[in-house]
Amino acid sequence: MNETTQLRLIERACRSIEDLDPPPNLTALAKSAGLSPAHFQRVFVAAVGVSPKAYGVAHRQRRLRQALHKAPRVTDAIYDAGYAASSVAYRDSSALGMPPGRYRKGGANECIRYCVTRCSLGPLLVAVTERGVCAVEFVDETGAPASLRKRFPNAKLEAARPRDLRWIRDVVSTVDSPPGPRAELPLDIRGTAFQTRVWRTLARIPYGQTLSYSEVARRIRSPNSTRAVAAACAANALAVVVPCHRVVGSNGKLTGYRWGLERKRALLKKEGLVVAENGVVSRPSRQTQ
C-alpha cells in the first residue's frame, strides 16, 4: 500500500470518527481500511499525531466548545457535541480547563491571578490558577490584561497573592538562571490533544539542546505533522517553561518565535549555545568552552 492510498484511508477514517454516532472503534476502522488493528493504529498515529480514540475525544471536545457558545443549556451542548452521557463530557472537559458550565460563560467565576515582573529579557507576565501556572508571556503592564482577556474573556482577574510568589520566582529563575534543584512547577496547560502532546515533548528537550520541528514530529510518532508541530509551538502560552525556543528549522537556523527572534536568540545563548550571524544554532566546540 503506497503513501497516497494510506493517507486516503486515514482521511476516510477521520470522517467516520467525526460523522458517525457513536464513532467506530479501532477494530471497525481497521477492518474498513483492510488492515490489522495494530497496523492501522500505527499508520493513523503517524499521519494524524494521535490515536483514533484521542482524535475522537479531541473532535468531541472541539464540538463541545462550539456548542457551549450556541446551545441554550449546557446539557443541550453536551448532547449536540455527540456525547451519550454528561458524565463523559465532564471527564473530557480537561482541555477546556474548567467545567463546561463555566466555559460556556467565558470562564465566569474562574479566578486568574497575575503579576508583571521583571526578568533579564524585559517585562514578564506570569498568571496562575489554583491548578498551577497558566500563562508566561513577555508582556508589559499595559498589555497583560488584554492578553489574559483574550484567553479567559469572562474570568475574574486579580493581583497575584503572596502564596503565588514562589511559583512566580521559579518562573523568573527558569528564564534567568541555569537549571537547578527547583521543585517542578505545577502547570495548568490548556490545549488540544495534539498540542498537549507536542508541549510535553518540548518540555523534555534538555537544557542547552535543540530539536527541529521535524524531529519533534518524529518523537511524537507523527512524522508528517511538521507544520502542525510549528503551529502548536506558536500557540504555546507558557514561554520558556514549555521551551518552544529550543525548536529550530531543519537547517539548524532560528525560526519564528511568538515573542520575537531576539528573545529566542538570547534564551539559546543563555543556555550556552552559539548563534551565528546567519542564525544557525550550534553547540560550542571544546576549544571555545
Give every CB contact of residue 182 below 8 A, 6+ residues apart in sequence.
Answer: 170, 173, 174
The answer to whether 115 is a known catalytic residue is: no
Q: What is the DSSP letter of 12?
A: H
- Among residues 14, 134, 233, 244, which one is catalytic? 244
Element (DSSP H or E) covering residue 215? helix 213-219
Residues 126, 117 contacting (CB under 8 angstroms) = yes
Rg (CA), the chain: 21
Residue 7: other Cβ atoms inside 10 A: 13
Q: Which amino acid is at 33?
A: A
Greatest CA separation for the chain: 68
Residue 107: other Cβ atoms inside 10 A: 21
Q: What is the DSSP letter of 223?
A: T
Q: How far apart are CA 101 and CA 124, in angstroms?
A: 31
Cell of 138: 513577555
Cis-peptide, bond into residue 243, ω within 30° of zero = no
Evaluated on CA atoms 155, 160, 163, 169, the torsion sign reads positive
Cell of 191: 490545549
Query: What are the backbone angles phi and psi of residue 135, rounded to the nearest 5°?
Result: -155, 135
Can you say whether residue 215 is alpha, beta or left, with left for phi > 0 and alpha for psi between -120 and 50 degrees?
A: alpha
Active site residues: 244
